[in-house]
């Protein structure tokens, strides 16, 4: 299997759980990221102290066709069950390849690897469109994780296609009741728990006391997740992805999921950079680009309180 990758920094191809192919990128200061070719699914992102920043369920099933529960599933060509396909589309449960014709290299000293997904004949039966989905995974010198998706319509029948998309990131948090999300307050959202009815978020930062499944619309390009107990803030930057889905299944749904521990909802939060409300349409030859950048920074304190605005402004 050929790999398009940067020779200056270690990129290792090895076997993961159940013998599935996995790529590990390491950065000189110690941060790392692991991605399975199955789903082009990031399953681990560690900082320079070796601390895991993503949540993966202890009950995750690393076996096709089940998508891996946790990490960063790629939802394409459909987010959720908003169309005729299986939930979150099929990109997350297909085996991707290394891209031998990748876009130009990023600046030096960045560890990166390029993947590609093209539809099989079986895929064309359920979604009759030809596409090239290129995904570049980059680990920055400070441990920042970047995912850049480029989706091109390669239909030869002259037909456009339409899709929705999400980077379904599961962040690892110390205790969901100690977590707040900054950057979504006062925005409109569709509530998946209330028939996708539209509401406007009120008040301060978002905190969690029960199940949440909301699609925030036209969000800022920067969102922060503040983990009070861990004194850690995740900063999410996104481009080409106007929406943000916030999901935590809480106790009842957790129990109903076979690949999720009963109490694990306490230690995860999904904040998903997405393009959901307005589906994207590409004509043949057109390409769409959607970029996600994640960083984890120590939280700053102000009078014993986390100071999210400072984090959002400074980073």
DSSP helix/strand/coil, 161: strand
By CB under 6 A, tell whether 87 contacts ligand BG6.
Answer: yes
Please pick, from the candidates 42, 145, 245, 269, the single residue that binds ligand BG6 as defined by CB under 6 A. Answer: 245
How does DSSP classify residue 18?
G
- The token pair that represents 68 in the structure block: 């891996």
Q: Which is nearer to ligand BG6, 211 or 307 (CB)?
A: 211
Degrees (nearest 5) of the Cα angle 130, 24, 122? Answer: 25
In whole angstroms, how close is the CB of 256 to ligand BG6 at the nearest point? 10
DSSP code at position 71: S
- What are the DSSP calls for 164-181, one per residue? EEEE--EEE-S-GGGEEE
Piece of the chain touching ligand BG6 by CB under 6 A; list 9-17, 57-65, 80-88, 285-293: 80-88
C-beta of 305: minimal distance to ligand BG6 in Å?
Answer: 30
Binding mask 190-209 for ligand BG6 (x = CB under 6 A): --x-----------------
**Of the two residues 201 and 307, which places its CB atom closer to ligand BG6 in the complex?**
201
- Exactly one of 168, 182, 228, 293 is catalytic; name it: 168
Contact pick of 44, 57, 78, 80 for ligand BG6 (by CB under 6 A): 80
Residue closer to ligand BG6, measured from CB, 75 or 145: 75
**Can you tell me which residue has the tokens 């043949």?**
284
Decide if residue 41 touches ligand BG6 (CB under 6 A): no
To the nearest whole angstrom, how small is the minimum distance from the Cβ of residue 168 to ligand BG6? 5
CA–CA distance, 224 with 312 (Å, rounded to integer) = 7
CA distance 90 to 127: 10
- The span from the CA of 192 to the CA of 12, in Å, is 40
Q: For residue 6, give both structure tokens.
A: 């940067």
In this complex, which beta carbon is closest to ligand BG6, that of residue 11 or of residue 270?
Answer: 270
Compute how many other C-beta atoms are within 10 angstroms of the C-beta atom of residue 49.
Answer: 9
Identify the H or E element spanning 121. helix 121-126
Q: Under the criterion CB under 6 A, does residue 144 sit at the interface with ligand BG6?
A: no
Is 168 assigned a catalytic role? yes
Cβ atoms of residues 192 and 212 within 8 Å:
no
Q: What are phi and psi of 312, to 5 degrees?
A: -65, -40
The residue among 145, 74, 84, 85 whose CA lies nearest residue 110 is 145
With binding defined as CB under 6 A, does residue 136 bind ligand BG6?
Answer: no
Is residue 91 involved in binding ligand BG6 (CB under 6 A)?
Answer: no
98 vs 234, beta carbon nearer ligand BG6? 234
CA distances from 39 to 126, 144, 283 (A): 17, 21, 25
Q: Applying CB under 6 A, does 247 fall inside the site for ligand BG6?
A: yes
Binding flag, residue 272, ligand BG6 (CB under 6 A): yes
| CB-based contact 33:45 (threshold 8 Å) | yes
Question: Which residue from 22, 88, 136, 266 is in contact with ligand BG6, where contact means CB under 6 A?
Answer: 88
Binders of ligand BG6 among residues 167 to 186 (CB under 6 A) are 168
Q: Is 275 in the site for ligand BG6 (CB under 6 A)?
A: no
Name the residues annotated as catalytic: 168, 272
Instruction: List residues binding ligand BG6 (CB under 6 A).
Output: 67, 80, 87-88, 168, 192, 213, 245, 247, 272
């Amino acid at each position: 299997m050929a790999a398009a990758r940067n020779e200056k920094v270690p990129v290792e191809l090895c076997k993961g759980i159940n013998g599935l192919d996995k790529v590990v990128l390491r950065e000189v200061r110690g941060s790392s990221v692991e991605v399975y070719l199955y789903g082009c699914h990031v399953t681990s992102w560690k900082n320079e102290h070796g601390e895991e920043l993503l949540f993966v369920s202890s009950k995750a099933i690393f076996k096709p066709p089940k998508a891996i529960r946790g990490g960063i599933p790629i939802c394409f060509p459909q987010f959720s069950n908003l169309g005729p396909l299986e939930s979150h589309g099929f990109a997350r449960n297909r085996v991707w390849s290394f891209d031998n014709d990748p876009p130009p290299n990023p600046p030096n000293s960045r560890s990166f690897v390029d993947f590609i997904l093209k539809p099989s004949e079986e895929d064309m039966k359920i979604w009759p469109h030809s596409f090239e989905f290129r995904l570049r995974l980059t680990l920055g010198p400070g441990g920042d994780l970047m995912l850049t998706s480029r989706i091109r319509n390669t239909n030869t029948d002259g037909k456009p296609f339409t899709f929705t998309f999400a980077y379904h990131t599961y962040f690892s948090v110390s205790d969901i009741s100690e977590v707040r999300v900054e950057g979504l307050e006062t925005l409109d959202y569709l509530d998946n728990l209330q028939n996708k009815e539209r509401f406007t978020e009120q008040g301060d930062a978002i905190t969690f006391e029960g199940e949440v499944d909301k699609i925030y619309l036209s969000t800022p390009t920067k969102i922060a997740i503040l983990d009070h107990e861990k004194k850690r803030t995740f900063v999410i930057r996104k481009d080409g992805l106007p929406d943000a889905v916030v999901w935590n299944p809480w106790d009842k749904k957790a129990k109903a999921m076979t690949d999720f521990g009963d109490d694990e909802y306490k230690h995860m939060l999904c904040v998903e950079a997405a393009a959901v409300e307005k589906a994207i349409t590409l004509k043949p030859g057109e390409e769409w680009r959607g970029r996600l950048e994640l960083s984890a920074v120590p939280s700053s304190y102000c009078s014993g309180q986390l100071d999210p605005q400072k984090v959002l402004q400074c980073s």
